[in-house]
Structure 1
C-alpha cells in the first residue's frame, strides 16, 4: 500500500508538467495551387532559315548573323557559367540558382524506371546533367512558401561520338568553336524547318589539340548530334534549393531526333574560349594548364562534355536577359501552344523599343503546388498521454475515499493516541491504576497485547453510544443504519 501511495503521489508532478508541455506552437503547411513560367528553347525566327520570319513591327529581318557586341555578351554569360563552382561539383543548380536538366541517357543505362517511365535522380555527378546552365523558372521565388513542386518540358542536344584513327578522310575548313576546336563543314544543312522526310542527322568531326596541324598525333572524333525531349519534375524544399527530382521522356508529340531547333552554323560560330578545350579534358580543374601530354578522354566522355558546352551556349542564347530570373513583358514571350511540333512555326511580336530580339525568351507555363507555413497549436502525444494517465489515476484516487466514507464506513473516523488519551481513566477498560507517570511511548510498549475497539458501549439502548473499550464482548461493533451518540 505504501508503494502504491508513493506511485500515485509521483503522478502529481508528472501531470503538472504534462499540462504545460502537452501543447506548443508549431507550423503547418497549407497546400496551394500555383502557376509557374519557365524558359524553353524554341525555334528562333532569327535562325529559321526563312524570310517569312520577319518582325513586321520593327522591320527587322531575323535571318541575319549575330553582331559582335551580342556575341561578346553571350560569351561572357557562358564563361560565367563555365567557371562557376556549380559546374564542377555536380550541383543540381547553376551559378544563378536555376535548375539543371538531367541527361536521361545516363539514367536509362543505370537506373530502373517506374511504371510511368520516371527515373529517380540520385547521386548526381557532373556528367549526369545536359548543361551547366539551368532553366529559369518564375513563380517559385517567394520565401513565404515552401515545398514547391512542378513539372517542366525541356529539350537538349545529345551527342554520340566515336574516335577514329585518322582525319584524312574529312575535309576541314578551320571552323572554330569554343576554344578553337576545329570542325569540318561537311555537315548536313537545313536541319531546322525542313520537311520531315528531308531530315538527316547532323554530323561533324572534332579535332584535338587545336593548335596543331592535321597529323597522326591528333585525336579525331566523329560525332552525330540529335535532340532529346524530356519532362522533368522539379522539387523545391525551399524557394532557393530547387532540384530535378525525376525525369522521363516527354509525353508530348515530339519531332524526329534529327530535327534541330536552331541553325547549326549560328550555334558553332561563336566567340572562342580558351577554357572550353580545358573543360573537355579536365572539367574539374579549369585553373590548370593542359599540355599535349594531357590525355584526351574516352569518346563517350567527350560526347557528354561537348554536348554540355553546346547546350549551355544554346541556353544562353535563349535566356540572355532572364539569366537572373527577371521575367517581364520585355524579356519573355508567353507561348500558350505547349507543343514540340516543329511544323507549327512560331511567330512573335516585338515591341518597337526592343531593339534586339535575342533579349526575348520563349516561355511556357506549368501547374505547380506550394505550401505556406501557418502557426498552429501542436499537441505532443507523449505528454498528452502522460496527462491523461495522471489525471485518471489521481481523480480515481480522490474518489475512492469519498466512496469509502459514504458507503462503507459504519461510524466516524477517529485519530488519537490510544496509549494515553484513549486508555487513561477509561471506564470501559480495566487497567491497573499504576503507570500513570509513564509517557505515551513507554505506556504503549506495556499495552502492546491489549486489544481495543471503537464501538457501541450501550448496545441495548435505542441509541447507541460510541466509545473505546476492550474488544471481546464489552464493546459491540458498529452497525450501519443505527443511530449513535
Structure 2
C-alpha cells in the first residue's frame, strides 16, 4: 500500500474536526516571524535618521577646536563604552536566540539549531564547538562573536577618545646674563639704565639700589625650600623638614624655582650621577629627591612658551662659584695689627671685628656674629682686583681668590675668633630647562632637567664673580649684615643656614656662638657657604628683572640678555588668532 504524501496529510488534517468543537472559518491563519516583524522603514530608516543629529552637529562645529557639547558627547560615549563588555553579553545572547528562531523558521539542521540555542556563554560556545565540530558556518560565527565581545568596550573607548592635535614649533626665548663672567661688565662700565648698574660701583648707585639687594636676599632665605637645601645627610632635622614640606616629591618640586619663578641652577658637582671624568656628558636632575642648588635666586627667562597648554625646552648658560675650604683654626695670630692677613678689616681699630663696617657705606644697623674678608696676598689681589671690571676676554688668573669667614667660638676657658679660609672657583654650565603648562588656565612650571659643563670653558675656573674690586668690597662689608638681627647674639638667617638649614627660620633664642661653625662638616659648610655667596652676588643684579617686574616682552632688551638655544614649544594647535599678540 502506497504511503500518503505530505500534501494529502495536510489536506486530511485541515478537514479533520475535533469532537465537540466546530471549525472556526473566520479564524485568521498563523503568520510567520517575518510577516509579524516591523517593516525595514521602521527598523532601519527611523534609527538612521538619528545619525543626522551628530553628523549635522559635527559639520557645524568643525571650526571649533574642542566644542563643549562635543566634549560632553564624547565623554558620554566613553562612559557607555566602558560598560560594553557586560552589555555585549546580554545583546549576544538575545542575538543568538533570535538567529536560532529565524533559522528554525527558515529550516535548518537539528545540529545547527541545538548549537545556536545552547551557545549562551563563551564557555558553552567552546564546549559546543568541541562536541559538534566545525561543520557549519554558524559554529565559527558564534564562537567569533563571543571571543570579540569583551574587547568591544576598550576598543570603543580608544576609538572615541579625545586626542589633541599637537605640533612642535620654534619659539624665541632669552635669559638674563650668560656663561661669560665678563657679561657682567656693563654693571661696572656705566651707560645702562633701568637698574642694570652695579650696586657697589659708586655711592650714588649704592644708595639707590642697596635696599633692593637687602630685601631680595632676606626674602629668598625665608622660603621653606631653604630648610632642606644642602641638609640631606648633614642635618638631623632633614627628614622632618621634608615631611613638613609635604614629602620628598613636594620638597623636590618647590625648590625648582625661586620666589619669583626664576629657574634655579643645580649644583652639578653634587648631583648623584655626576662623573668628573665625563664633563661634557649631560646629567639628569632627579625629581624624586631634594636637589642642592647653587643659588636661591634662579635664572630669569623670558619667552619660550605660549599662553595655552604645552611643553617647551631650551638651553640656557650660567655659572656659579664653588668653594674649597680648609678646617677652622684659631685666628689669634692672624688678627694682630702686624699680621696684615686681612685685606679690608682694620686690626688697629678697637672694638668687635664683626661690627666693623665700610666708612663710606650705608650701615643697616644690624649686629652680625660673623665677618667676611679676603686673604691679603699680593699676587692674588693683583690678579683679581687690579681693575674695577672683569677682563674683556675672560682671561683666567693663575691663582685662586681666597676669602675667609670668622666668628666667635668657645675656646675654653675663653671665647676666641676662629677663621676658615676658602679658595673660590667658577663652574660654567649648560642647563636644559623644561617648562610645562597643563591647561591655558594653569601656571607654567619650569625646572632644570639636565645640566653639564659648558664645552670650551674650564671645569673649575680661577676667574670668579668676586674678581672685581667693587663687588669684592661690597660683598665683604654687606654680606654679614644683610640678614642679621638688631639684637647682639641673635643669629641671622645666613648664620642659621650655615649652621643647620632645617633651623634657618627658627631664630627664637640668642646664641652666644651663632658665628661658630666648627661642628659643621667641611663638605656641608663648603656647599652652604657657596650657595649663600652665589645668592648674594645674584641679588646685586637688576632687581626689576629678578622679581619679574620688567614684563615678558622680548623687544628692546639690552646686552645683558642672551638668546637661549634650541627654544622649542610642543602643544596643541590653536586658532590663528591665538598666536597673535603678546603670547611670550
TM interval, short-chain normalised: 0.5 to 0.7
Q: Distance in 1 between matches of 2:163 and 2:553?
A: 40
Residue 64 of structure 1 aligns with which residue? 202
With normalisation by structure 1, the TM-score equals: 0.60
Structure 1 residue 323: Cα displacement = 2.1
Q: Distance in 2 between matches of 1:92 and 1:287?
A: 20
CA distance change for structure 1 residues 330 and 147 in 2, over 3 Å: closer, same or farther? closer
Structure 1 residue 120: Cα displacement = 1.6
Unpaired stretches in structure 1, ≥5 consecutive residues:
336-360, 376-485
Q: Is the 8 A contact 1:146 1:372 kept in 2?
A: yes
Structure 1 residue 98: Cα displacement = 1.7
1:105-144 equivalent positions in 2, closer than 5 A: 105-107=269-271, 116-122=280-286, 128-144=292-308
For residue 193 of structure 1, the aligned residue among 381, 390, 395 is 390
Secondary structure at the aligned position of 1:67 is classed as helix
Residue 301 of structure 1 aligns with which residue? 524
Residue 213 of structure 2 aligns with which residue? 74
Residue 463 of structure 1 aligns with which residue? none
> Is residue 206 from structure 1 mapped to residue 405 from structure 2 by the alignment?
yes
- Flag the structure with higher strand content: 1
CA distance change for structure 1 residues 362 and 64 in 2, over 3 Å: closer, same or farther? farther
> Is residue 368 from structure 1 mapped to residue 567 from structure 2 by the alignment?
yes
Q: Is the 8 A contact 1:334 1:364 kept in 2?
A: no
Structure 1 residue 247: Cα displacement = 1.1
For residue 280 of structure 1, the aligned residue among 495, 498, 501 is 498
For residue 476 of structure 2, the aligned residue among 260, 265, 268 is 268
Q: Is the 8 A contact 1:178 1:272 kept in 2?
A: no
Paired residues in the alignment total 344
Secondary structure at the aligned position of 2:216 is classed as helix
Residue 181 of structure 1 aligns with which residue? 370
CA distance change for structure 1 residues 319 and 9 in 2, over 3 Å: closer, same or farther? same
CA distance change for structure 1 residues 20 and 320 in 2, over 3 Å: closer, same or farther? same
Q: Distance in 1 between matches of 2:223 and 2:483?
A: 15
Structure 1 residue 300: Cα displacement = 1.9
Q: Which structure: larger Rg? A: 1
- Flag the structure with higher helix content: 2
For residue 310 of structure 1, the aligned residue among 507, 530, 533 is 533
CA distance change for structure 1 residues 121 and 168 in 2, over 3 Å: closer, same or farther? same
Relative contact order, CA 8 A, sep 6+: which one is greater?
Answer: 1
Q: Is the 8 A contact 1:334 1:363 kept in 2?
A: no
Secondary structure at the aligned position of 1:297 is classed as coil
Secondary structure at the aligned position of 1:128 is classed as coil
Residue 291 of structure 1 aligns with which residue? 511
Q: Distance in 1 between matches of 2:206 and 2:430?
A: 34
> Is residue 32 from structure 1 mapped to residue 169 from structure 2 by the alignment?
yes
Question: After superposition, what is the alpha-carbon deviation per residue over 1:390-412, rounded to whole angstroms, capped at 9, x for unaligned?
Answer: xxxxxxxxxxxxxxxxxxxxxxx
With normalisation by structure 2, the TM-score equals: 0.51
For residue 231 of structure 1, the aligned residue among 411, 430, 434 is 430
CA distance change for structure 1 residues 223 and 25 in 2, over 3 Å: closer, same or farther? same
Q: Distance in 2 between matches of 1:207 and 1:233?
A: 38
Secondary structure at the aligned position of 1:228 is classed as strand
Structure 1 residue 333: Cα displacement = 4.2
CA distance change for structure 1 residues 216 and 16 in 2, over 3 Å: closer, same or farther? closer
CA distance change for structure 1 residues 207 and 56 in 2, over 3 Å: closer, same or farther? closer
